[in-house]
Chain A
Amino acid sequence: MKDYEIVIGLEVHVELATNSKIFCSCSAKFGGEQNEHVCPACCGMPGMLPVVNRRVVDLGMTAGMMLGCHINRTTTFDKKSYYYPDLPGSYQTTQWFAPVAVNGTVEIETSKGKKAIRIKQIHMEEDAGKLVHDDWTDTTLVDFNRTSVPLIEIVSQPDLSSAEEVVAYLERLRSLLRFAKVSECRMEQGSMRCDVNLSVRPVGQKEYGVRTEMKNMNSISAIERAIAYESARHIDAIENGTEELVQETRRWDDIKGKSFAMRNKETAGDYRYFPDPNVMPVVIDDAWFDTIRDSLPEFPEVKRVRYIEELGLGEYDADMLVESRAFCDAFEAAYAESGLAKESANWLITNCMNLLNRRQMTTDMLSINGKALGVLVKIVADGTVSHANGKKILEVMFDEDIDPKKYAEENGYIVSNDTGKIVEVVRAVIAADPKSVADYKSGKEKALMALFGKCMKELKGNCDPQLLRATILENL
């Protein structure tokens, strides 16, 4: 058997993090009751005029700049015609002739080293609606909530040659776009999906082989399995003539672990692209361009190095933080306030992470005031508030924008240096618990912990643990 090379190009659809839809003011929020987020415009009723959401262009440009693209300073929208009930106007408004961004590169790293993947273009477009097949009435039910939700489609050149590279590429895209707050890129919610174009050719051959496309892949592991299956199918067809390969769209069935041919895909000509006369060309002037360029975040790997080399964080801590832009923002603000890098990182990675997990939230959903977190880090580090009470304050900070120091004062969370009060509490606890005292005196170390716990509870945690321990021992 000859050696074969796999050639893969990806079309990645990413739902943009906007409040409203691309051409109308309906909510772009995920979910909701069927057809709650709709209006005559996104239902395709005649006579409605689309008006572009400025934020969509902002995010399209941002994505383009993050992926090293050239930004088209005049960008236009086009109609792509196809007839299907998930598209009420029987066309999709997208970009064909002058997409917002072109000619970029994304650098990936795999076990074989670094590789640059070329980006052909990024275009802005509207999503389609959702169809539900109802077996009972044998009809199809249509929900237009998702219709006109803004997307960008990132089209790569056929530069990828293995599942490993595809995974690295998708993870890199996800990281960059989440960092720039372009999208949450949550594959399980469909806010990131991808079409895989795949062909194989004998190593050394210049011409591409017959290409097939698998649409709407929405899990990394499914993509890996699909690439393995589909490339093996192609090679088998060429080597053993098991079937004739045709250019077509295929559906990946992850449960069966196989791809299946779908209805013959219409070729590009059949979409009959033409400029949408209802959407005015968008001209990006220098001021607009500069605003977006100046708002771009530092790349995650740059932050990581800075955190380790300049702020002295460990690699693990730095890796955890740069997973999420929200964590980086909170960390940087907390550090600026407290001057305590390690402690600030710790509060985020352990305590904030625990709270997020308990609330089943992702790291990107963290919305804590970073400056206030810095104050909390500081008052716990200098012993003004105990660690345990600090955690209670943090939980309040998740829901309300409070000043942790003021809150600690108002709620009796300030560690007391009043030794008189401590001695008073210790004596009362000892007097009320002769059993623990006797146990301790007969050599049971554990009994001391029981007394310690009772005293700490009485003092509402506002006591230096070392001081309390010493006071108990003195009074036994």
Chain B
Amino acid sequence: MNETVLKRLEKLNQLALTEEEEKAFLAFYAEQEEEQKALAAVNTEEVERMVHVMPVYTVVRDDVVIKMFEREDLQKGAPETMDGYWQVPRLVE
């Protein structure tokens, strides 16, 4: 992680971090990298690849429609809505 990578991530996520926040993030990532190095030093040759911490598989549901929420309730916290749409700043393609 360095300043260039962080700037790129900011852009990809449409974030505008303050200088202070950037410093804090860089420090945080530097710490993470140290931890990663420590992990990488461990011999994992015999260890199987794992996606999840818990050995839980195939959590599936039946294909049944259940309507539990009304649009009005879902949009209560929205800063702006219009005619049942969420309303966001115009996007330029």
B21 proximal to A (CB < 8 A): no
Residue B37 interfacial (CB < 8 Å): no
Contact with B along A39-70 (1 / 0, CB 8 A): 11001000000011111110000000000000
CB < 8 Å: which of A52, A81, A144, A266 contacts B61? A52
Q: Shortest beta-carbon distance, B16 to chain A, in Å?
A: 13
Given A51-B60, A266-B12, A141-B65 contact (CB < 8 Å): no
Chain A residue numbers with a CB within 8 Å of B64 are 19-20, 25
| B63 pairs with A40, CB closer than 8 A | no
Q: How large is the interface on B (under 10, 10 to 19, 20 to 34, 35 or more residues)?
A: 20 to 34
- A158 in contact (CB, < 8 A): no
Distance in angstroms from A187 CB to nearest chain B CB is 22
Q: In the complex, which of the residues B59, B68, B90 contacts A140, with contact meaning CB atoms closer than 8 Å?
A: B90
**Beta-carbon contact of B52 and A277 below 8 Å:** yes
Tell me the bound Cα distance from A132 to B87 in angstroms: 10
Report, as a range, how many residues of chain A touch the other chain.
35 or more
Contact of A35 among B51, B57, B85, B89 (CB under 8 A): B85
Interface majority SS (helix, strand, loop, mixed), chain A = loop
Q: Whole-angstrom distance from the CB of B4 to the nearest CB of chain A? A: 14
Chain B residues closer than 8 Å to A133, beta-carbon distance: 90-91
Is the pair A141, B82 in contact by a Cβ cutoff of 8 Å?
Answer: yes
Could you tell me the distance in whole angstroms from the C-beta of A29 to the nearest C-beta in chain B?
Answer: 8
Measured in the bound complex, the distance between the Cα atoms of B47 and A97 in whole Å is: 19
Contact A34 B84 (CB under 8 A): yes
Which residues on A sit within 8 Å (CB–CB) of B82?
Answer: 134, 137, 139, 141
Say whether B58 faces chain A, with CB atoms less than 8 Å apart: yes
Q: Are B63 and A53 in contact (CB under 8 A)?
A: yes
Q: Which residues of B contact A35 (CB under 8 A)?
A: 71, 74-75, 84-86
Interface string of B1-43 (1 = CB under 8 A from A): 0000000000011100000000000000000000000000000
Chain A residues near B60 (CB, 8 Å)?
A: 51-54, 57, 282
Given A35-B71, A40-B69, A76-B51, CB of A52 within 8 Å of CB of B59: yes
Q: Is the CB of A281 within 8 A of B51?
A: yes
Given A51-B60, A52-B61, A25-B66 contact (CB < 8 Å): yes
A259 to chain B, nearest CB (A): 15
- Report the minimal beta-carbon distance from A16 to chain B, rounded to whole angstroms: 10
**Sample (27) of A-B pairs whose CB atoms are under 8 Å apart:** A20-B64, A25-B65, A25-B66, A25-B68, A35-B86, A36-B71, A40-B74, A51-B61, A52-B59, A52-B61, A54-B61, A55-B62, A81-B13, A83-B14, A132-B85, A133-B90, A134-B82, A139-B87, A140-B88, A141-B86, A142-B85, A142-B87, A263-B93, A277-B52, A280-B59, A281-B52, A281-B57
